Structure 1
Amino acid sequence: MSQQYPPQQPNQPYQQQPQQPGWGAPQQGWGAPPQPPKKNPIGKILGFGCLGIIGLFVVIGIISAAVGGGSSKKSDSSSGVKPAATASKDGKASTADKPKGAADDDKKADSKPATPKKKVVTFKVWGTAPAGALGPLDITYGSDSDNRKGKFVNGKFEATLPLNKDAMYYSLTAQLQGSGDINCSVTINGKTKRGHASGGYNICDAQLSSGLLGGWD
Protein backbone atom coordinates (compact mmCIF):
# COMPACT_ATOMS: atom_id res chain seq x y z
CA MET A 1 0.00 0.00 0.00
CA SER A 2 1.17 3.41 -0.74
CA GLN A 3 1.39 5.99 2.06
CA GLN A 4 -1.29 8.61 1.93
CA TYR A 5 -0.41 12.18 2.60
CA PRO A 6 -2.79 14.92 3.37
CA PRO A 7 -3.57 17.05 0.45
CA GLN A 8 -1.45 20.08 0.05
CA GLN A 9 -2.96 23.42 0.67
CA PRO A 10 -2.43 26.01 -1.90
CA ASN A 11 0.24 28.61 -1.34
CA GLN A 12 1.78 26.73 1.60
CA PRO A 13 4.94 24.64 1.86
CA TYR A 14 4.59 20.94 1.92
CA GLN A 15 5.79 20.29 5.45
CA GLN A 16 3.86 23.06 7.14
CA GLN A 17 0.41 22.02 8.18
CA PRO A 18 -2.26 24.51 9.13
CA GLN A 19 -2.60 24.81 12.82
CA GLN A 20 -5.95 23.45 13.89
CA PRO A 21 -7.73 24.59 16.99
CA GLY A 22 -6.79 22.45 19.91
CA TRP A 23 -3.60 21.10 18.41
CA GLY A 24 -1.18 23.79 19.49
CA ALA A 25 -0.40 25.45 22.81
CA PRO A 26 -3.50 25.76 25.01
CA GLN A 27 -3.85 29.50 24.76
CA GLN A 28 -7.15 30.17 23.06
CA GLY A 29 -8.24 26.82 21.67
CA TRP A 30 -11.18 24.77 22.71
CA GLY A 31 -8.97 22.41 24.68
CA ALA A 32 -7.60 25.13 27.04
CA PRO A 33 -9.30 25.50 30.52
CA PRO A 34 -11.20 28.79 31.03
CA GLN A 35 -9.45 31.38 33.14
CA PRO A 36 -11.24 32.34 36.46
CA PRO A 37 -12.66 35.86 36.58
CA LYS A 38 -10.66 38.40 38.53
CA LYS A 39 -12.10 39.42 41.89
CA ASN A 40 -13.09 43.02 42.23
CA PRO A 41 -11.67 44.61 45.53
CA ILE A 42 -14.31 47.34 45.39
CA GLY A 43 -16.96 44.97 46.78
CA LYS A 44 -14.81 44.12 49.78
CA ILE A 45 -14.14 47.76 50.51
CA LEU A 46 -17.84 48.59 50.33
CA GLY A 47 -18.68 45.65 52.64
CA PHE A 48 -16.18 46.68 55.29
CA GLY A 49 -17.35 50.28 55.02
CA CYS A 50 -20.98 49.30 55.66
CA LEU A 51 -19.99 47.20 58.68
CA GLY A 52 -17.92 50.11 60.07
CA ILE A 53 -20.85 52.55 59.68
CA ILE A 54 -23.25 50.15 61.41
CA GLY A 55 -20.76 49.62 64.30
CA LEU A 56 -20.33 53.39 64.65
CA PHE A 57 -24.08 53.90 64.98
CA VAL A 58 -24.24 51.16 67.64
CA VAL A 59 -21.43 52.78 69.69
CA ILE A 60 -23.09 56.21 69.41
CA GLY A 61 -26.37 54.73 70.64
CA ILE A 62 -24.70 53.13 73.69
CA ILE A 63 -22.90 56.39 74.61
CA SER A 64 -26.12 58.40 74.24
CA ALA A 65 -28.00 56.00 76.52
CA ALA A 66 -25.27 56.20 79.19
CA VAL A 67 -25.13 60.00 79.07
CA GLY A 68 -28.90 60.27 79.19
CA GLY A 69 -29.11 58.04 82.28
CA GLY A 70 -26.41 60.05 84.13
CA SER A 71 -28.01 63.39 83.30
CA SER A 72 -31.41 62.19 84.52
CA LYS A 73 -29.90 61.19 87.88
CA LYS A 74 -28.16 64.55 88.17
CA SER A 75 -31.35 66.43 87.34
CA ASP A 76 -33.22 64.49 90.02
CA SER A 77 -30.58 65.20 92.67
CA SER A 78 -30.07 68.85 91.69
CA SER A 79 -33.73 69.69 91.34
CA GLY A 80 -33.72 70.97 94.94
CA VAL A 81 -36.97 69.19 95.84
CA LYS A 82 -36.87 68.18 99.48
CA PRO A 83 -39.46 66.33 101.52
CA ALA A 84 -41.69 68.53 103.55
CA ALA A 85 -40.86 68.73 107.23
CA THR A 86 -43.31 66.92 109.47
CA ALA A 87 -44.49 68.77 112.52
CA SER A 88 -43.98 67.26 115.93
CA LYS A 89 -46.31 67.52 118.91
CA ASP A 90 -44.97 70.90 119.96
CA GLY A 91 -45.50 72.35 116.49
CA LYS A 92 -41.82 72.33 115.49
CA ALA A 93 -40.48 70.47 112.52
CA SER A 94 -38.77 67.22 113.38
CA THR A 95 -35.00 67.16 113.00
CA ALA A 96 -35.21 64.00 110.88
CA ASP A 97 -36.88 65.94 108.04
CA LYS A 98 -34.77 69.05 108.42
CA PRO A 99 -31.57 69.65 106.50
CA LYS A 100 -28.39 68.78 108.35
CA GLY A 101 -27.32 72.41 108.71
CA ALA A 102 -30.72 73.45 110.09
CA ALA A 103 -30.60 70.76 112.80
CA ASP A 104 -27.16 71.96 113.87
CA ASP A 105 -28.43 75.56 113.99
CA ASP A 106 -31.31 74.49 116.26
CA LYS A 107 -28.86 72.81 118.64
CA LYS A 108 -26.72 75.93 118.77
CA ALA A 109 -29.77 78.09 119.44
CA ASP A 110 -30.96 75.83 122.25
CA SER A 111 -27.57 75.61 123.94
CA LYS A 112 -26.70 78.61 126.07
CA PRO A 113 -23.37 80.30 125.44
CA ALA A 114 -20.75 79.34 127.98
CA THR A 115 -19.99 82.17 130.36
CA PRO A 116 -16.28 82.97 130.52
CA LYS A 117 -14.59 82.04 133.77
CA LYS A 118 -13.68 84.94 135.99
CA LYS A 119 -9.97 85.40 136.54
CA VAL A 120 -8.85 85.10 140.14
CA VAL A 121 -5.73 85.55 142.26
CA THR A 122 -4.70 82.59 144.45
CA PHE A 123 -2.78 82.97 147.72
CA LYS A 124 -1.18 80.00 149.56
CA VAL A 125 0.92 79.34 152.70
CA TRP A 126 2.09 75.89 153.82
CA GLY A 127 4.60 74.42 156.24
CA THR A 128 5.08 74.37 160.05
CA ALA A 129 4.41 77.50 162.09
CA PRO A 130 3.76 76.94 165.83
CA ALA A 131 2.13 79.76 167.76
CA GLY A 132 4.49 81.96 169.72
CA ALA A 133 4.24 84.55 172.47
CA LEU A 134 2.50 86.95 170.10
CA GLY A 135 0.05 84.38 168.80
CA PRO A 136 -0.20 82.21 165.67
CA LEU A 137 1.31 82.85 162.22
CA ASP A 138 0.49 86.37 161.02
CA ILE A 139 -0.80 86.32 157.38
CA THR A 140 -1.72 89.36 155.27
CA TYR A 141 -2.78 89.16 151.57
CA GLY A 142 -4.46 91.29 148.90
CA SER A 143 -3.68 94.11 146.42
CA ASP A 144 -2.41 97.67 146.68
CA SER A 145 -5.97 98.78 147.44
CA ASP A 146 -7.32 95.75 149.34
CA ASN A 147 -5.57 94.09 152.34
CA ARG A 148 -6.96 91.12 154.27
CA LYS A 149 -5.97 88.83 157.15
CA GLY A 150 -5.58 85.08 156.75
CA LYS A 151 -5.72 82.16 159.18
CA PHE A 152 -3.22 79.31 159.19
CA VAL A 153 -5.06 76.03 159.91
CA ASN A 154 -3.58 72.50 159.98
CA GLY A 155 -0.37 73.59 158.37
CA LYS A 156 -1.84 75.46 155.41
CA PHE A 157 -3.68 78.55 154.21
CA GLU A 158 -5.39 79.19 150.87
CA ALA A 159 -7.59 82.04 149.60
CA THR A 160 -8.70 83.59 146.26
CA LEU A 161 -9.69 87.10 145.15
CA PRO A 162 -11.21 88.26 141.85
CA LEU A 163 -8.60 89.79 139.59
CA ASN A 164 -8.82 93.56 139.27
CA LYS A 165 -7.15 94.76 136.07
CA ASP A 166 -6.58 98.17 137.64
CA ALA A 167 -4.58 96.75 140.57
CA MET A 168 -0.88 97.58 140.58
CA TYR A 169 0.17 94.39 142.43
CA TYR A 170 -1.01 91.43 144.52
CA SER A 171 1.09 90.26 147.47
CA LEU A 172 1.15 87.91 150.48
CA THR A 173 3.17 88.08 153.69
CA ALA A 174 3.37 85.47 156.46
CA GLN A 175 5.46 86.20 159.62
CA LEU A 176 6.62 83.45 161.94
CA GLN A 177 6.12 83.86 165.71
CA GLY A 178 9.40 82.60 167.14
CA SER A 179 9.95 79.37 165.13
CA GLY A 180 8.80 77.34 162.15
CA ASP A 181 9.46 76.80 158.42
CA ILE A 182 6.95 77.98 155.83
CA ASN A 183 6.50 78.60 152.08
CA CYS A 184 4.12 81.06 150.41
CA SER A 185 2.95 81.85 146.82
CA VAL A 186 0.79 84.20 144.70
CA THR A 187 -0.62 82.97 141.34
CA ILE A 188 -2.30 84.98 138.54
CA ASN A 189 -3.16 83.49 135.11
CA GLY A 190 -0.66 80.67 135.57
CA LYS A 191 2.11 83.01 136.65
CA THR A 192 3.42 82.26 140.20
CA LYS A 193 5.80 83.96 142.60
CA ARG A 194 7.03 82.10 145.73
CA GLY A 195 8.76 82.92 149.01
CA HIS A 196 10.26 81.10 152.02
CA ALA A 197 10.93 81.85 155.71
CA SER A 198 12.44 79.79 158.50
CA GLY A 199 12.94 80.35 162.28
CA GLY A 200 12.43 83.37 164.57
CA TYR A 201 10.19 86.15 163.34
CA ASN A 202 11.17 85.97 159.70
CA ILE A 203 8.65 86.87 157.00
CA CYS A 204 7.69 84.86 153.92
CA ASP A 205 6.90 87.31 151.09
CA ALA A 206 5.49 86.71 147.54
CA GLN A 207 4.29 89.40 145.09
CA LEU A 208 3.14 89.76 141.46
CA SER A 209 3.11 93.24 139.86
CA SER A 210 1.13 94.43 136.83
CA GLY A 211 3.26 94.96 133.71
CA LEU A 212 2.99 97.64 131.08
CA LEU A 213 1.46 95.21 128.56
CA GLY A 214 -1.12 93.79 130.97
CA GLY A 215 0.95 90.84 132.15
CA TRP A 216 2.05 90.00 135.68
CA ASP A 217 5.67 89.78 136.83
Structure 2
Amino acid sequence: MDVHQAEFIKSAVKPKDYPDTALPEVAFVGRSNVGKSSLINVLVNRKSLVRTSSTPGRTQLINFFDVNGRLVLVDLPGYGYAKAPPELRKQWQPMIETYLAERENLRAVVLILDIRRTPTDGDLNMLRWLETYGIPPIIVVTKCDKLSKNEQARQAGLIATVIGRSREELVPFSALSKVGREGVWRAVSELAGLDDTTT
Protein backbone atom coordinates (compact mmCIF):
# COMPACT_ATOMS: atom_id res chain seq x y z
CA MET A 1 0.00 0.00 0.00
CA ASP A 2 1.18 3.52 -0.81
CA VAL A 3 0.75 5.13 2.61
CA HIS A 4 0.09 8.87 2.38
CA GLN A 5 -1.63 9.33 5.74
CA ALA A 6 -1.32 7.56 9.07
CA GLU A 7 -2.57 8.91 12.37
CA PHE A 8 -3.40 7.80 15.89
CA ILE A 9 -7.13 7.51 16.54
CA LYS A 10 -7.43 6.55 20.21
CA SER A 11 -6.51 4.05 22.93
CA ALA A 12 -9.01 1.70 24.50
CA VAL A 13 -9.38 -1.02 27.11
CA LYS A 14 -12.99 -2.14 26.74
CA PRO A 15 -15.29 -2.57 23.71
CA LYS A 16 -17.29 0.53 24.62
CA ASP A 17 -14.12 2.56 24.09
CA TYR A 18 -13.24 1.15 20.64
CA PRO A 19 -13.47 3.61 17.73
CA ASP A 20 -16.87 3.78 16.07
CA THR A 21 -15.74 2.87 12.57
CA ALA A 22 -16.65 0.25 9.98
CA LEU A 23 -13.20 0.27 8.41
CA PRO A 24 -11.45 -3.13 8.25
CA GLU A 25 -8.97 -3.67 11.08
CA VAL A 26 -5.76 -5.65 11.19
CA ALA A 27 -4.26 -6.16 14.64
CA PHE A 28 -0.62 -6.68 15.62
CA VAL A 29 0.36 -8.87 18.55
CA GLY A 30 3.44 -10.60 19.89
CA ARG A 31 5.67 -11.20 22.84
CA SER A 32 7.00 -8.06 24.52
CA ASN A 33 10.10 -6.63 22.86
CA VAL A 34 9.55 -8.61 19.65
CA GLY A 35 9.66 -5.50 17.44
CA LYS A 36 5.93 -4.84 17.07
CA SER A 37 6.11 -1.04 17.23
CA SER A 38 9.04 -0.92 14.81
CA LEU A 39 7.15 -3.11 12.35
CA ILE A 40 4.10 -0.84 12.36
CA ASN A 41 6.26 2.28 11.99
CA VAL A 42 8.06 0.79 8.96
CA LEU A 43 4.77 -0.23 7.35
CA VAL A 44 3.40 3.32 7.52
CA ASN A 45 6.73 5.02 6.73
CA ARG A 46 6.77 6.90 10.03
CA LYS A 47 9.58 6.91 12.56
CA SER A 48 7.45 7.36 15.64
CA LEU A 49 3.75 6.86 14.95
CA VAL A 50 3.95 4.02 17.45
CA ARG A 51 6.24 4.65 20.39
CA THR A 52 9.15 2.24 20.58
CA SER A 53 11.02 1.44 23.75
CA SER A 54 13.89 -0.71 24.91
CA THR A 55 11.74 -1.51 27.95
CA PRO A 56 9.33 -4.38 27.20
CA GLY A 57 5.70 -4.10 28.17
CA ARG A 58 5.22 -0.41 27.38
CA THR A 59 2.10 -0.98 25.28
CA GLN A 60 -0.55 -1.40 27.97
CA LEU A 61 -3.64 -0.36 26.02
CA ILE A 62 -5.18 -1.24 22.66
CA ASN A 63 -4.08 1.51 20.27
CA PHE A 64 -5.88 2.26 16.99
CA PHE A 65 -4.28 3.94 13.95
CA ASP A 66 -6.00 5.11 10.76
CA VAL A 67 -4.15 4.49 7.47
CA ASN A 68 -5.29 6.39 4.38
CA GLY A 69 -8.84 6.52 5.75
CA ARG A 70 -9.26 2.96 4.46
CA LEU A 71 -7.74 0.69 7.10
CA VAL A 72 -7.18 0.64 10.85
CA LEU A 73 -4.04 -0.92 12.30
CA VAL A 74 -4.45 -2.03 15.91
CA ASP A 75 -1.51 -2.34 18.29
CA LEU A 76 -2.34 -4.89 21.00
CA PRO A 77 -0.43 -5.16 24.31
CA GLY A 78 2.62 -7.40 24.22
CA TYR A 79 2.45 -10.57 26.26
CA GLY A 80 4.97 -12.63 28.19
CA TYR A 81 6.86 -9.87 29.99
CA ALA A 82 7.54 -11.42 33.38
CA LYS A 83 8.68 -8.18 35.05
CA ALA A 84 5.39 -6.41 34.48
CA PRO A 85 3.33 -6.06 37.67
CA PRO A 86 1.17 -9.18 38.20
CA GLU A 87 -2.06 -7.18 38.23
CA LEU A 88 -1.14 -5.61 34.89
CA ARG A 89 -0.34 -8.99 33.36
CA LYS A 90 -3.74 -10.29 34.51
CA GLN A 91 -5.43 -7.42 32.67
CA TRP A 92 -3.65 -7.96 29.34
CA GLN A 93 -5.03 -11.41 28.53
CA PRO A 94 -8.75 -10.57 28.89
CA MET A 95 -8.17 -7.23 27.13
CA ILE A 96 -6.65 -8.98 24.11
CA GLU A 97 -9.07 -11.90 24.10
CA THR A 98 -12.13 -9.65 24.35
CA TYR A 99 -10.93 -7.64 21.38
CA LEU A 100 -10.29 -10.78 19.30
CA ALA A 101 -13.66 -12.29 20.20
CA GLU A 102 -15.88 -9.24 19.84
CA ARG A 103 -14.46 -6.90 17.18
CA GLU A 104 -16.61 -7.56 14.13
CA ASN A 105 -14.49 -5.61 11.63
CA LEU A 106 -11.26 -7.42 12.58
CA ARG A 107 -10.01 -9.08 9.38
CA ALA A 108 -6.63 -10.54 10.37
CA VAL A 109 -3.97 -10.57 13.08
CA VAL A 110 -0.26 -10.12 12.43
CA LEU A 111 1.45 -12.47 14.89
CA ILE A 112 5.04 -11.34 15.33
CA LEU A 113 7.80 -13.77 16.26
CA ASP A 114 11.51 -13.08 16.82
CA ILE A 115 13.36 -15.25 14.32
CA ARG A 116 16.12 -15.83 16.90
CA ARG A 117 13.77 -17.33 19.49
CA THR A 118 11.78 -20.54 19.75
CA PRO A 119 8.03 -19.73 19.93
CA THR A 120 6.77 -19.53 23.50
CA ASP A 121 3.63 -20.93 25.10
CA GLY A 122 2.19 -17.43 24.73
CA ASP A 123 2.79 -17.52 20.97
CA LEU A 124 1.18 -20.96 20.68
CA ASN A 125 -1.78 -19.87 22.81
CA MET A 126 -2.26 -16.84 20.58
CA LEU A 127 -2.37 -19.05 17.49
CA ARG A 128 -4.95 -21.25 19.19
CA TRP A 129 -7.05 -18.20 20.05
CA LEU A 130 -6.98 -17.05 16.44
CA GLU A 131 -8.03 -20.49 15.25
CA THR A 132 -10.84 -20.54 17.82
CA TYR A 133 -12.19 -17.20 16.61
CA GLY A 134 -11.62 -17.97 12.93
CA ILE A 135 -9.22 -15.05 12.50
CA PRO A 136 -6.56 -15.50 9.78
CA PRO A 137 -3.00 -15.05 11.10
CA ILE A 138 -0.21 -13.32 9.21
CA ILE A 139 2.95 -14.73 10.78
CA VAL A 140 5.87 -12.31 10.59
CA VAL A 141 9.36 -13.23 11.82
CA THR A 142 11.27 -10.10 12.78
CA LYS A 143 14.91 -9.15 13.34
CA CYS A 144 16.10 -11.15 10.32
CA ASP A 145 19.05 -8.79 9.94
CA LYS A 146 20.50 -10.29 13.14
CA LEU A 147 21.15 -13.66 11.44
CA SER A 148 22.96 -14.92 8.38
CA LYS A 149 20.94 -16.36 5.49
CA ASN A 150 21.77 -19.91 6.60
CA GLU A 151 20.79 -19.16 10.20
CA GLN A 152 17.55 -17.54 9.02
CA ALA A 153 16.65 -20.64 7.03
CA ARG A 154 17.41 -22.94 9.96
CA GLN A 155 15.45 -20.84 12.44
CA ALA A 156 12.51 -20.41 10.08
CA GLY A 157 12.34 -24.18 9.71
CA LEU A 158 12.40 -24.64 13.48
CA ILE A 159 9.71 -22.01 14.08
CA ALA A 160 7.47 -23.50 11.39
CA THR A 161 7.79 -26.93 12.96
CA VAL A 162 7.00 -25.68 16.48
CA ILE A 163 3.89 -23.75 15.41
CA GLY A 164 2.73 -26.44 12.98
CA ARG A 165 2.83 -24.27 9.85
CA SER A 166 4.75 -24.37 6.59
CA ARG A 167 7.82 -22.17 6.15
CA GLU A 168 6.07 -20.48 3.23
CA GLU A 169 3.56 -19.00 5.68
CA LEU A 170 6.30 -17.09 7.51
CA VAL A 171 7.00 -13.54 6.29
CA PRO A 172 10.63 -12.56 7.04
CA PHE A 173 11.05 -8.94 8.13
CA SER A 174 13.73 -6.50 9.22
CA ALA A 175 12.92 -3.04 10.55
CA LEU A 176 16.53 -2.03 9.84
CA SER A 177 16.64 -2.96 6.15
CA LYS A 178 12.84 -2.85 5.60
CA VAL A 179 13.08 -6.29 3.96
CA GLY A 180 9.64 -7.87 4.07
CA ARG A 181 7.63 -4.63 4.14
CA GLU A 182 5.99 -5.37 0.80
CA GLY A 183 5.25 -8.96 1.80
CA VAL A 184 3.51 -7.87 5.00
CA TRP A 185 1.46 -5.22 3.17
CA ARG A 186 0.50 -7.74 0.48
CA ALA A 187 -0.92 -10.11 3.09
CA VAL A 188 -2.60 -7.30 5.03
CA SER A 189 -4.20 -5.82 1.91
CA GLU A 190 -5.52 -9.18 0.75
CA LEU A 191 -7.09 -10.16 4.06
CA ALA A 192 -8.44 -6.66 4.72
CA GLY A 193 -10.19 -6.71 1.35
CA LEU A 194 -8.24 -3.79 -0.10
CA ASP A 195 -7.69 -3.73 -3.84
CA ASP A 196 -4.06 -2.65 -3.86
CA THR A 197 -0.67 -3.71 -2.54
CA THR A 198 2.56 -1.97 -1.73
CA THR A 199 4.10 0.12 -4.49
Greater percentage in strand: 1
- Which structure is richer in relative contact order (CA contacts within 8 A, separation 6 or more)? 2
TM-score bracket, shorter-length normalisation: under 0.3
Greater percentage in helix: 2
Larger radius of gyration: 1
TM-score by length of 1: 0.23
